[in-house]
Amino acid sequence: MCLSLRHMERVSGLGVGPLAAGTVGLLILLKVIQRLRHKQSVQDKVVVITGASSGLGKECARVFHAAGARLILCGRDQKRLQEVVEELGNKNSVIQTYTPCTVTFDLSNTSVVSSAAEEILKCHGHVDVLINNAGISYRGNILDTHVSVQRDVMETNYFGPVALTQAILPSMVDRRTGHIVVISSVQGKISIPYRSAYSASKHATQAYFDCLRAEVERLGLQVSVISPGYIRTNLSINAVTGDGSKYGVMDKTTARGSDPVDVARAVLKAVCHKQKDVVLAGLLPTAAIYLRTLWPALYFRLMASRAIKEHRVKEE
């Protein structure tokens, strides 16, 4: 009897490893199948991109155009938008591509967003994907920053995208389909010193679009919040300072940031796979997000230390 029990234990023990491996393999296979089932193509889809004349917006235009989307490019400078259109027209593609439409308006002026949305909808009659990309950054000490600058950053980064989203949203609800994307930032999840206006606008953005996602899911709409770390664009050069003037400096962190092409491809992937919340950052920023939640006292201490170091550098 004892021998029989020992034999059964050996057999069952030998079977645990293969069984566990098989279970893990099956779960991975099911996840892959699920992703493939939910994957959607942007071929022939109407995709609106704000801030499309430069930086990440321009790279998104290239990536989505190559994927066969019908683009509507938005920005403040019609000439630069037209240059993007001409550049895309010169590219060869193995799939059907389309000449983009352009709509020129200033997203920070929310009074014109409603009429701009009407013009956008006239292009193809509807919008399948809205990518809220346009934004402005900020560098400055809170003590030296006028409230008007805080408000201006919020107008561009928060109220502008909200106004455009709410202007386009009813048409998506009527069709029971649509995908809204917003380019937020890691700084929409954690705050770092001397970025108050920017971080505040991105925190507000994260909260609004999280609420929107929950409210429109029952209507068949998708919402994706993309939170990159530093991207190698002119965002820091074009940033505003406490008095509203241009910062005009390429930060070292920005210069060493992610290639905007890689971020644009990640945005396309988020749309195709209907990803809800995507963080595109290295190990340290990602760890900081968890640290802020799990050990806030340590996070606050680290940020205070960083503020002291940056203040010393500026004084020198």
* Catalytic site positions: 198
What interhelical angle do 196-216 and 160-175 show, nearest 10?
A: 10
CA distances for 108 relative to 12, 104, 123, 137, 227, angstroms: 67, 12, 22, 13, 21
| 3-state SS assignment for residue 106 | coil
| 3-state SS assignment for residue 189 | coil
Backbone angles phi, psi at 250, to 5 degrees: -85, 105
Q: How far is Cα 136 from Cα 200, in angstroms, rounded to an integer? A: 12
Q: Exposure of 305 by Cβ count < 10 A (0-12 exposed, 13-18 middle, 19+ buried)?
A: exposed
Both structure tokens of 16: 């645990």
Q: How far is Cα 299 from Cα 310, in angstroms, rounded to an integer? A: 17
The answer to whether 201 and 185 are in contact (CB under 8 A) is no
| Residue appearing with tokens 């030998």 | 14
